[in-house]
Each structure stands twice: as C-alpha cells, then as structure tokens.
Chain A
Amino acid sequence: MKIKWFLLIFFTLITGCSTLQLTPVDFSWPLEAVLKIDEQGFVKEDRYSLKLNVKNLLAEEFGLATDIKGKTIRIIRNSSGIYFITSEGFKNVYLFNQELGNLSLHKKILVSEKGLQNPFFNQRDSHIELVDGNLKVLLSNEGIIGDKK
C-alpha cells in the first residue's frame, strides 16, 4: 500500500517537473560561413546574427602566443544545433553546443595530424562533410562516421 502511494506521488512529481519541448527542430545552416577574425578575436555572422569570440579556440589549437590577425574560421551548424568549427592549419574540428551565453565544447575531433590546408564544410543531409584536398570525412555529433577517405 505504501509502495503504491509512493509510486503515485513520484510519477505525479516527475510529470509536473518535466519541461516543455518542441520537436523536431532543424538548426542546420545550408552553407558554411567563412568569417574573418578581428583584432579582438571576434567573428560575426550577419545572416544568423551570431557573434562570438574565438580567442580561446585558437589558443586551444595553436597555443596562447598565436597571432590571430587576418585569420579566418569556417563554421557550420548541423540539424541538431551543434556548431562545427575549423580553419586552415587546424588539426581538429571543434564541435560546440549552444548554452546560455556561451558555446561549450561538445567534442574535439582530430582530422589531420599535419594540419588542414584548405578545408571546407558542406551540409550533407544529417551530417557535416569536411573536405580538405584528398581528405573527405562525414562528421556527426559523435565524431567521424566510417573511415577517412
């Protein structure tokens, strides 16, 4: 009897506390954005009203002493809302999740030991395609899908 009451109260509380969710949502950008980094480390994407500072990202990839002036980053968002960021010279693709007031690192994917030379992203169905010369990989929220080509 006690157990029954406990279960009733428990499920009532669980149902009452669950947040309202709207699904499905497609956050995907049809096209990557190629953004120039300004002297303070900011990049700005007008179409999606996105402005962020990438100084920490560059420090993570190249070390603190890196010169950011004149560099560009390539950024694209997949359908589930994860931002994929990389750039020329990067060894990794960084996946960020949007949170309140910041982008937090969701995953760091090593894609080239030598560093990418001329990378670009394409939006491909539910995945993000990364191409750099002969390198061509499909990326999901969890990492590289299948083998590198």
Chain B
Amino acid sequence: MKTKLLLLLTLLFSFNLYCQSDYEIVQSFKNRIPEIEAKVKDAASLEDLQNASNEIEKLKNDFEIHKELLDRSLYPENFQKVINNLNNSVVLRKGDFTQIEELQTEVVTLRSEIDQLNKRNSELLNQIYTLEIQRKKDAKTIAKLQSLVSELKASLTQRDELVFAIIDSLMPRIDVDPNALSDSEKQNLIAETESKNVLFLVKKSIRDNNRFLEVTTLKPQDIEEVKKQQDDFVSLWQKIGPKLADIYTAKPEKSNELRQIDALFTNWKNNLRREVWESIRDDFSIGGINLRRFNNSNDFTQIITNFIDEEIKSFGVKSKEESERVFSIFTDSIWYKTINSDWMPYLIDNKMITSEQKDQIDKKISEWKDLVAPSYSIWTYILSAVVLIIIIVFAFMKLKKKSNNTKLE
C-alpha cells in the first residue's frame, strides 16, 4: 500500500515536472539573478547581505532539480557558476562593509582630533593677528611671531591631513560612476557625507588656510609648502567634488555649498598669489623702500622700473651719498639678497613673471648702476696710472732740478 502511494506521488510529481515549460523555468531562474544582484549591491548593512545570502541559498535549492537543464541553457555559464558568482559578490560586498566599519571608527577619532586642532588654530590665528598689527615690533615680538607662525603652519597641516583622511574614507563608496549608483546607494552616501560633516570640514579648512595667508608674511620656502598643500588639497577635492555634485543634484542647498567650496578654492589660489606679491613688497618695506601695491607681474615690473627711473631722474638733484645709499639698499640688501635669489625662482617656476619682465628690471638696475656707481674699463685704469706716473716723474724731475740749482748757488 505504502509503495503504491509512493509510486502514485512520484508519477504525479513527474507529470507536473514534465508539464512545465523548460523555457519558463530557465527564464524564472534568470529573472531571479538580477534581483539578488541588486539586493547585494544595495545592501546597506551586513544584515541585508545575510538576507541576500539566504536568497542565493533558496535559489540554489529551488533550481537544483533543474540543474541539468540550466547547465545546458545558461551557456556560457552554468548553474553552479551562477550560484558561485552570486556568493562571490556577497563576499566582496562584505569586504566593503568591513572596510567601511573600520573607517567609521577611524573617522570618529579623526573628528575629535580635528575639533581640537580647529580650536588651537583659531587661538593661534588670533595671537598672530594681534602681534602683526602692532606697529613697532621688537626682537622679542618678532621671535614670538615667528614661533607662532610655525606652530600654526604645523597645526594647519596636521589638521588638513586629518581632513584628507576623512575625505579618503569616502573614497571606497564614492570612487565609482555616480550614474551607476542606485538611489539607495546615493542616499547612503549622502548620509555618510553628512555624518562625517565633510563639506563643513573642507570649508573650514580652506577658510583657515586663507586666514593664515591674510595674517602672515611668508618666506618663499613657506609659500612653497603652502602651494604644495594647496595642490594636494585641490587634487583630492577634484576627485570627490564633481561626484558629490552629481549625487547632490536633488539637494539645492548642498549644491550651493559645493559651489561655495569651489569659490573658496579659487579664493585660496588667488590669495596665495597675492600673498607672494605682498611678501615681496614687505621685503622692500623692511629694507626701507616703500613701493606701491602690486598684485601681478605687470604692476611689479612697472612699479620697480618707475622707482628706478625716479632715482635716475633725481640723481644730481639730491645728494650723491643719498643716491648711493638708496642704490646700495635696493640692489645689495634687497634685490640680489632676497628677491633675485629667493623669490625670482618661485615666480618664474610658477609662471608669475616672464623672463622678459625680469630682463627688463635687470636692464634698468644696470642702467641705474652705471649712473650711480659707474664701472671703469681696464684702459681707464691704465691711462690713469700712466698719467699718475708722468705727474710723479715730472714732480720728481722738478724737485731734482730745484735741488741742483740750490747746490750751485
């Protein structure tokens, strides 16, 4: 009886099995693959991934019975290969979550360090500003100022590195084609960007760097460091900024914030260029030569050549000593000592001045030198020596003649 029942059930099952369309079976298997793939891709947590994993197991169990049909129909894939691919995608995605969890822990630490550094930087900026606006600076004040500036510079760099680390932590999620991201992935990314306060940190960082340029007078080597830091920051932002802009298209206030960041970067770049010209002008000012403000190479060349022209014109009008003193300060103490040796390579390397403009200034200085401190050729010295010898010989002969006459008398 039991055997008969079993046989009947087997026959019924076989009948049902054979009444199914093979095509429909394969299609239904194929249709479930992208659904599971989407679940793996859109998983927002390890729990979601576990659900996707369970679905893969269910798919395997549901279709194991049609393995032979699927093996023949899924060419060039086969049943087991499809299941393995799905399982591998879960493993890969799990890796993302592990990495993200580690980065999130790291970010919490970074945020706290950044907050401390931001506070410290504000204090330093205020102290430097107070010292900078003092009209008279004694040696002690200058030393303190220099020490504060280097402390602030180090602190800003340290803080920026932490901000870089936070931006880097977004990279695994954001370094993909934004069009390839699903809506839920975009939402997750927006939530992550906001929880890490990335836009605020970037803005704060650029603003502090701008303020640093405003309150300090920098040497060429400092400027080089700031330039490098700026280039690194810009390059990192170029990787993330446009992608964030794509993701934030539906959020006008955030898009606006991104535009502000772009404007701040432009401002920072302009400020750095302005700072170079300001620092050059300060070097002249420290030497006692006060020049009009210049913000570009044309103005700089024009103002320097005008200054020299004025000095040339006034040569002979004012005392010779005064003309020579100004010439000496300008050339020996400022131009050749600082500008030509320290600033000029930076200006030329960064295409802030052309070699023609530099030649124009050198030519003018040379013209000034010929007037104030003319150089004589070797023939001039030989001629002078010959004349001197002749005078001495004449004088000697005259003295000798006079001496002989005295003896005869």
Report B-chain residues with C-beta under 8 Å of the C-beta of A47: 75
Contact with B along A115-145 (1 / 0, CB 8 A): 0000011111000010100001000000000
Interface status of B24 (Cβ within 8 A of chain A): yes
List residues of chain B with CB within 8 A of the CB of A32.
21-23
Q: Is A64 in contact with chain B by the CB < 8 A criterion?
A: no
A54 interfacial contact with B, CB 8 Å:
no
A30 near B: Cβ within 8 Å?
A: yes
Q: Contact string, A37-75, partner B, CB cutoff 8 A, digits 1/0?
A: 000000000010000000000000000000000000010
- A110 is an interface residue with CB less than 8 A from chain B: no
Residue of A nearest to B68 (CB): A30
The interface centre, meaning the residue of B19, B21, B24, B69 with most chain A CB atoms within 10 A of its CB, is: B21
Q: Is B18 an interface residue (CB 8 A)?
A: yes
Q: Which of B4-49 contact A (CB under 8 A)?
A: 18-19, 21-24, 26
Chain A 20-39, CB-CB to B under 8 Å as 1, else 0, gives 00000000001111100000
Interface size class of chain B, counting residues whose CB lies under 8 Å from the partner chain: 10 to 19
B72 CB-CB contact with A under 8 Å: yes
B69: chain A residues within 8 A (beta carbon) = 30-31
| A120 pairs with B21, CB closer than 8 A | yes
A31-B72 in contact (CB<8A)? yes
CB of A131 within 8 A of CB of B73, answer: no
Residue in B18, B19, B73 whose CB lies within 8 Å of A31: B73
Residues of A within 8 A of B75 (CB): 47
- What separation, in Å, do the CA atoms of A122 and B69 have in the docked complex? 10
- In contact, B21 and A122 (Cβ under 8 angstroms): yes
Give the complex CA separation of A113 and B24 in angstroms. Answer: 25
Measured between beta carbons, the chain B residues less than 8 angstroms from A74 are 23
Residues of B within 8 A of A30 (CB): 22, 69, 72-73
Bound form: Cα–Cα A21–B61 in Å? 44
A123 pairs with B19, CB closer than 8 A: no
Q: Given the complex, which residues of B lie within 8 Å of A31, measured CB to CB?
A: 22-23, 26, 69, 72-73
**Contact for A131 among B21, B26, B72, CB less than 8 A:** B21
| Interfacial chain B residues near A131, Cβ < 8 Å | 19, 21
Instruction: Given A30-B73, A31-B72, A47-B75, decide whether A123 and B22 contact each other with a Cβ distance below 8 A.
Output: yes
Do B18 and A129 touch (CB < 8 A)?
Answer: yes
Q: Which A residue sits closest to B25, measured CB to CB?
A: A31
CB distance from B340 to the nearest CB of A (A): 73
A interface residue numbers (CB < 8 A to B): 30-34, 47, 74, 120-124, 129, 131, 136
Given contacts A121-B23, A124-B18, list 16 more A-B pairs with CB under 8 A: A30-B22, A31-B22, A31-B23, A31-B26, A31-B73, A32-B22, A32-B23, A33-B23, A34-B23, A74-B23, A120-B21, A120-B22, A122-B18, A131-B19, A131-B21, A136-B18
